[in-house]
Amino acid sequence: MQSALSAAARSAAMGAGAKAWSRVATSCAGMGLWRAVMTAAASVSPAISAPASRGRGVSCLLSRALDVKAASAMSALNGCAPTHLRRDLHASPAWRYAEAMNQHRDVPHNTEETPFDFTDENYTKIAELLKKYPSNYKSSAVIPALDLAQRQCGGWLPLAAMNKVANVLEMAPMRVYEVATFYTMYNREKIGKYNIQVCTTTPCMIRGGYEVLKACEEYLGIKVGGDTPDGLFHLMEVECLGACVNAPMVQINDDFYEDLTPESTVKVLKSFQEGKPLPYGPQNGRHTCVGPQGKTTLFEEPSGPSAPNLDA
């Protein structure tokens, strides 16, 4: 039965029509044989054979064959697919960016032979970092060391920089690659000078996060994941950045711009273009996260932390 469904799926994927797709979809939904559809679709189109993109490829084929929206096809797939296959269908912003990071492809500016070495200043910073850990645990400094390398490279992390981190921390290069490809904060591809990260998780979404994202796309003339032709901006859609009380917000490089509207978002972008970035923080005039009633607690500076006298 599974081989028959695979054959039917291949036939449908190659253009046999909506009825074939409908028959395959109904049968697979009832029998839990979504892998047959995915395998068949992958055999027809190698471009969708990568696990992370397989679900989107199948949903696109389904949407074309059944004349439904791609989002509806993806929803149907997610609704029927077992848990281990839902991971293949997951399409959050963080996952989409991870797809671009989990493989290395040599390009002229990013190979093992590309020159890279830390500046004297960064070597000093790494030496200070290593003082925090036992001498046989230098690898504990891998995350901040990768951050230093990324900052030195202008916001992205080439292969040569990761290899240098491995050499300095006396680690196997693969262990460094594992860290760099796990965290979405490391950019494995060259990006624009100002990295605009728009939060669209629930609090920002209901406060206008997608409108802010649309304003960025329309003003800059790029889509999520793109760079402006002048190399000034890179646009990302990200998960929660932890400033929910000031939603909607974006992070530009290290700074949070909060309480945004589409209009104030464009104003912020213009300020970066002019080389005079607006002060970060709330853009609606309020102080930090103080509500409309003003301060209701902490009317004075809190006392600093205290500790027992360890010398006594």
Start-to-end CA distance of the chain, whole Å, equals 79
Residue 251, pLDDT > 90, answer: yes
The SS3 call for residue 285 is: coil
The domain ranges of the chain are 99-190, 194-282
From residue 270, how far is each of 135, 220, 248, 251 by CA, in Å? 48, 10, 18, 15
CA distance 61 to 154: 39
CATH 1.10.10.1590 fits 99-190, yes or no: yes
For 101, the token pair is 């990071």
Q: How far is CA 77 from CA 19, 26, 105, in A?
A: 17, 11, 31
Q: Which of 15-19, 121-125, 227-231 has the lowest mean pLDDT?
A: 15-19
**Six-digit token string for 298:** 């902490």
Top-tier CATH class for 194-282: alpha beta
Q: Per-residue confidence at 287, pLDDT binned at 50, 70, 90?
A: confident
Does the structure show a pLDDT above 70 at 41? Answer: no
The average pLDDT across 60-77 equals 48
Measured CA to CA, the distance from residue 116 to residue 50 in angstroms comes to: 31
Tally Cβ neighbours within 10 Å of residue 188. Answer: 24
Q: Say which residue, 310 or 209, is predicted with more confidence.
A: 209
Give per-residue pLDDT as tens, 112-140.
Answer: 778 899 999 999 999 999 999 998 899 99
Q: How far is CA 83 from the centre of its chain?
A: 22
The most distant pair of C-alpha atoms in the chain lies apart, rounded to whole Å, by: 84
Q: Which residue has the higher pLDDT, 136 or 73?
A: 136
- Is the confidence at residue 30, as pLDDT, over 60? no
Q: CA–CA separation, 211 vs 265, rounded Å?
A: 10
Q: Checking DSSP bridges between strand 194-199 and strand 255-258, what pairing results, if any?
A: unpaired
